[in-house]
Chain A
Amino acid sequence: MTEISRKLTPADLANVSRALISARETNLGIEVQLPVVYPNGQCVSVVVTVAGGNYIVHDAGFGAMSLTAAGVDLTKVLAQRLSRLGQDYGCEFVDGRMSRVCTENQLPIAIALVANASRAVGDQVWEHRERRVRDFRKEVQLALGRALPEDRVRKLQVIGDSGTTYKVSHVILSADKTRQLAFVEPIPDQQTVDRKFREFSDIKITEEYDEVARIAVYDDKAPWRDGDLALLARVSNIVPFDSFPLRIERLVT
């Protein structure tokens, strides 16, 4: 930290803050860069153009582009949410672009509002914080792939006794592929237990699947409450991931 050499005046701070704003002409119109920042550290810039006797201030899709680069897909649902968010700033979010129509006198505030609305688009990355760096489902899939030929494992829609349709993650077939040997479901965490308990208990009482084993492979590195695994054990074979290859081997031989 350097020493403070002189007393700053409000005018000094106003000047250095203003210096963070710049504008230049590009092929899109006049691009104004503001001291407003997306979560990835990039400053927000907006474009000013003229159409139909009015000024249009827009972000040229830069806000949405920062979201895409952060691994968040601009789905229809997200676009609807961003449209509502844009309204809070008096802006429109259409086709991935934040914009606002205004008169010349309104330009400074419109520029500030569009810039902040665009930053708010980029901020949506915080709503999608689930990283899924490691995917337990993928680990189970890979373990199956190592143990069995590709054509002996498939996904399947199964109708339970209640009439509910379930997408079973992995179905292991017999060597001649005429019979289903087991339904396998990865259980990465406690949150999955309720759903899979329902699925397996509904399938368990379905006569058609009487002969098919139900295997719940749980992540043995996760903290489990005794009750969770006991509940799953009532409707399936619970298998820790560590023992899963051995369990498959026993099943298919």
Chain B
Amino acid sequence: MPTDSGGLSEREFNMASPDDEQFQHQMRRYLQADKRIAGRCVWKRKQHPDYREVVKIVECSELPEFNGELRMTAHLSRVPQKFGFVLLLGTQRVLSLDVDPGRTHFNVKTLVGVSSTHWQEFPEYEAIEDGRDLNHQEWLVEFCKRSNIRLDILYRTPPHEPPQLILL
């Protein structure tokens, strides 16, 4: 029976340090493997009225036991709208994209700040700027291209309800 976590038990694998070579190999393999998300794109409010989220299970026939999901977040009222995409394995970030974050990101290794749209990838997570001006759906397509995910979802734009400018 093929289980593909490089000879590690579930517990060992889940507890492995991100610096572990075997763990890193599997993470890279997961990122490169063919994946798919399907179904509807439902923006949920949950316990946080300030933003909406979508969580989609990522199917991966090559590594089916891997627990992948794509999470999208979008701020409801901020202009420009701040939104994010992240591919997670459990709670381990594999790839993320922050669009119009509206604040600086500190690269902890290089001690350099990045203030615009940027990507981060396991294991370094160094923020790499992306100066393109795309809409949400176009960014989603870019994200899925880079993470090798086939998009079979019924796409919906995130809601955006900016209030009037509040003057002090």
Question: Does any Cβ of A come within 8 Å of B93's Cβ?
Answer: yes
Question: Does any Cβ of A come within 8 Å of B66's Cβ?
Answer: yes
What 1/0 mask marks residues of chain B from 1 to 43 whose CB sits below 8 Å from any chain A CB? 1010101111111110000000000100000000000000000
What 1/0 mask marks residues of chain B from 56 to 96 whose CB sits below 8 Å from any chain A CB? 00000000111101010101011100001010111111001
Which positions in A face B, CB cutoff 8 Å?
25-31, 33, 37, 40-45, 48-50, 60-62, 64-65, 68-76, 79, 95-97, 125, 128-136, 138-139, 142-143, 188-189, 219, 221-223, 241-242, 244-245
Which positions in B face A, CB cutoff 8 Å?
1, 3, 5, 7-15, 26, 46-51, 53, 64-67, 69, 71, 73, 75, 77-79, 84, 86, 88-93, 96, 98, 101-108, 120, 125, 127, 162-166, 168
Q: Closest 7 CB pairs between A and B?
A: A61-B50, A96-B48, A131-B90, A222-B9, A132-B90, A71-B91, A136-B10
Q: Contact partner of A33 among B11, B66, B104, B166, CB < 8 A? A: B104
Given A30-B168, A71-B69, A221-B8, residue A42 in contact with residue B98 (CB < 8 A): yes
B residues less than 8 Å from A132 (CB atoms): 14, 67, 90-91
Q: Contact partner of B108 among A41, A130, A222, A242, CB < 8 A? A: A41
Please determine whether B51 and A134 come into contact, CB atoms closer than 8 angstroms: no
> Does more than half of chain A's interface fall in helix, strand or loop, or is it mixed?
mixed
| Nearest-Cβ distance from residue B41 to partner chain A, whole angstroms | 16
Please determine whether B50 and A60 come into contact, CB atoms closer than 8 angstroms: yes
Please determine whether A41 and B89 come into contact, CB atoms closer than 8 angstroms: no
Please determine whether B92 and A131 come into contact, CB atoms closer than 8 angstroms: yes
Q: Contact partner of B127 among A30, A41, A71, A242, CB < 8 A? A: A41
Please determine whether B10 and A71 come into contact, CB atoms closer than 8 angstroms: no
CA distance A236 to B12 in the complex (A): 25
B residues less than 8 Å from A62 (CB atoms): 50, 75
Q: Contact partner of A27 among B78, B108, B120, CB < 8 A? A: B78
Please determine whether B90 and A71 come into contact, CB atoms closer than 8 angstroms: yes
CA distance A25 to B47 in the complex (A): 27
Count chain A CB atoms within 10 A of each CB in B7, B47, B101 and give the residue with the most: B47
Q: Which residue of the partner chain A has the closest CB to B72? A: A69
B residues less than 8 Å from A138 (CB atoms): 64-65, 67
